[in-house]
Amino acid sequence: MNYSTNRPSYARWASEDEIKQSLCKVNFNETNRQCSGIPLYTGPDEQVYVDPSDTHTMIIGSTGSKKSRNIVMPSLQILAHAGESFIATDPKAELYERSLNMLRKMGLKPLVINLRDPRRSNCWNPLTIPYRLYRNGERDRSMELVTDLANCMVKEDSANEPYWQNSAADLLAGMILILFECAKESEINFKSLLALRIQALKINDSSPFIKENFLDCLDRSAFVASLLSGTAEVCDDTRSCIVSHFDQAMRPFFSQDSLINMLSVSDFDMSSIGKKKTAVFLIIPDENTLYHRLISVFVKQCYTELILEAQKQPGKRLPVRVNFMLDEFASLPPISDFPAMITASRSRNIRFNLIVQSLHQLRHQYGDNAEIIKGNCENWVFLYSRELQLLEELVRLAGTKSNEEPLITVPMLQTLDKNKGEALVLHKRLHPFIASLKDIDQYRNVSNNVKQIPYPVNTVKAENVFDFNKFCKSKSSIYLSLMFSGKTEQEISMEEEKRFMSIGDDDAVLEPLFTSVISDDREIEEFAASAGTSLLIKER
């Protein structure tokens, strides 16, 4: 068959039969259904047509275009009825409040990371997963997550001088590694990071405490030494600027006791999201983008845990499909390696649904990688936008008719009927079509009663805090020199004893010389109070 002469080269609209044959029909209120996905087309009564494959979807619509009501809320209902897990960003908490009763009825376990009110939230410690990887010998993977966390927490896209940001990120990563190597698991939390920052960078005799009493004893080839030397071993003015940038970036996460408490432990296992049907809501203040940093960290860590869990399964796929429903995706700080994530996730039973206001936002965050992300989304759903470049791209993608006129025009895209839920859908290799997507309240048996919706109650207190000064004072220079070598604490102690026994009486003093004045608890409390939080270091 000659392809060029036997197939039409012009564009046309997909017929209703073609649409229905390409998608899977589900009844909106039907339980235990065999397929699920976001609504791409709706029929009479409760009929909804979805893409049941592992295909990723990009949903484009400016503020007020009914992305949540026409697509996200119905999608969560469909996924729950199919027994699939999902992780949804929820800026207004409306998804959680509208869905909770239905989720419990369907047997999904609801989890809430509530950055609007950390006292009404499940607990999640961003340091737990990289710490356990570190302790289990997977230090390269742990270091990747630590670097991602440090970059997300400290770096800003708008900075003109990246040196200060990069140095502050290295400082944060280095201090996290100190906790991983030196602290007990119960002390791995943000409160310990604050205490470590206060103690380690206290200036005595013109140099910070950490230089004389820790770094100078380390093997200089240790990676942590390179991370910390950029702050500890520079001139006073440079160090002050780095520390100032660090303090400014971390202040929102150090200044709220309720947030520190919420981030001090994890009360759920991320890997279980791919084994048991679970609904995770990430409630974030859309008026304050500082907390978006934690969401990017959560998504990356959750993806990492799910991939590790998938690798344990016989078919290298999660037993329960996990759907990421990421509203305001292009407003989140860039997620490290996201193009690779979206490429590899399909074979692991993971789907991404990316909800953006404009492609300009996406390009701003991901640069050239935005094209890779777009290319991996085989479903595009367009609701409304004034972004001319986006509109022209959609016109080109839809193609031209036999008379060389465009199938879709910019005015047509600008006049899609919001009240009818009209949306332009580009689905895989099917011709384009206009769908009328129903508002969530148009479906039967959907509760809109959000009064007195219960939230988790967080009673956790971050009480265990690592004392860096006491740790340094209790260890010999030999012990410190053996750290960060991959050895366990027991192995380091045995090696230390061997070296002590091999040293004669006339050899140099082995203990580090503590000429620095060690901060007392009162001084630490005063510094913490200036950051707006309380800090009490208990005896180890």
Angstrom distance (rounded) from CA 348 to CA 345: 5
Please name the residue ranges forming H helices in 273-415.
Answer: 292-312, 338-344, 359-366, 369-375, 388-398, 410-414
Is residue 23 scored above 80 in pLDDT?
Answer: yes
- Which range, of 267-271, 291-295, 512-516, averages the lowest pLDDT? 512-516
Q: Does 111 lie in the same domain as 148?
A: no
Which residue type occupies 257?
A: D
Q: Is 189 part of a structural domain of the chain? A: yes
Q: Does 401 lie in the same domain as 274?
A: yes
Q: Does 285 lie in the same domain as 330?
A: yes
**Do residues 258 and 114 lie in contact, with contact meaning Cβ atoms separated by under 8 Å?**
no
pLDDT band per the 50, 70, 90 thresholds, residue 521: low
Angstrom distance (rounded) from CA 428 to CA 381: 11
Q: What does the pLDDT look like over 393-452, one tens digit per residue?
A: 999 999 999 888 999 999 999 999 999 999 999 999 999 999 999 999 999 877 776 677
Q: Does 190 lie in the same domain as 336?
A: no
Count how many domains the chain has.
2
**466: helix, coil or strand?**
coil
pLDDT given for residue 28 in this prediction: 86
Most confident of 283-287, 344-348, 349-353, 490-494: 349-353
Angstrom distance (rounded) from CA 374 to CA 72: 19
pLDDT given for residue 122 in this prediction: 96
pLDDT given for residue 96 in this prediction: 95
Q: Does 210 lie in the same domain as 139?
A: yes
Q: Does 413 lie in the same domain as 276?
A: yes
Is residue 186 scored above 70 in pLDDT?
Answer: yes
Q: Does 244 lie in the same domain as 143?
A: yes
Q: Is 303 part of a structural domain of the chain? A: yes
Longest dimension (CA), the chain: 97
Q: Is 302 part of a structural domain of the chain? A: yes
- Which range, of 179-193, 229-243, 332-346, 485-499, averages the lowest pLDDT? 485-499
pLDDT band per the 50, 70, 90 thresholds, residue 2: very low
Is residue 113 scored above 90 in pLDDT?
Answer: yes
- Average pLDDT score over residue span 251-259: 91
Q: What does the pLDDT look like over 370-396, one tens digit per residue?
A: 999 999 999 999 999 999 999 999 999
- Average pLDDT score over residue span 518-524: 51
pLDDT given for residue 538 in this prediction: 44
Is residue 523 scored above 80 in pLDDT?
Answer: no
Last residue of a domain, one of 423, 442, 461: 442
Is residue 106 scored above 50 in pLDDT?
Answer: yes
Q: Is 365 part of a structural domain of the chain? A: yes
Name beta bridge partners: 422: 436
Q: Does 364 lie in the same domain as 481?
A: no
Is residue 64 scored above 60 in pLDDT?
Answer: yes
Q: Does 225 lie in the same domain as 199?
A: yes
Q: Is 28 part of a structural domain of the chain? A: yes
Q: Is 447 part of a structural domain of the chain? A: no
- DSSP for 243-254? HHHHHHHHHHHH
- The parent domain of residue 9 ranges over 3-122+270-442
pLDDT given for residue 402 in this prediction: 84
pLDDT band per the 50, 70, 90 thresholds, residue 518: very low
Tell me the CATH number at 389.
Answer: 3.40.50.300
Name beta bridge partners: 191: none
Q: Is 463 part of a structural domain of the chain? A: no
Please name the residue ranges forming H helices in 37-189.
Answer: 67, 73-81, 94-106, 128-135, 139-154, 162-182
pLDDT given for residue 514 in this prediction: 43
Q: Does 277 lie in the same domain as 255?
A: no
Higher pLDDT, 383 or 501: 383
Show the beta-strand stretches assigned E in 117-230: 203-204, 207-208
Is residue 6 scored above 60 in pLDDT?
Answer: no
457: Cα within 13 Å, side-chain hemisphere: 3
Q: Is 509 part of a structural domain of the chain? A: yes
Angstrom distance (rounded) from CA 374 to CA 529: 46
- Average pLDDT score over residue span 279-284: 96
265: Cα within 13 Å, side-chain hemisphere: 13
pLDDT given for residue 510 in this prediction: 46
pLDDT given for residue 516 in this prediction: 41
pLDDT band per the 50, 70, 90 thresholds, residue 1: very low
CA 140 to chain centre: 19
Q: Does 523 lie in the same domain as 385?
A: no
* pTM: predicted TM-score of the whole model, two decimal places: 0.89
Q: Does 475 lie in the same domain as 375?
A: no
Show the beta-strand stretches assigned E in 311-465: 322-326, 350-356, 377-384, 422-427, 433-436
Last residue of a domain, one of 426, 442, 458: 442
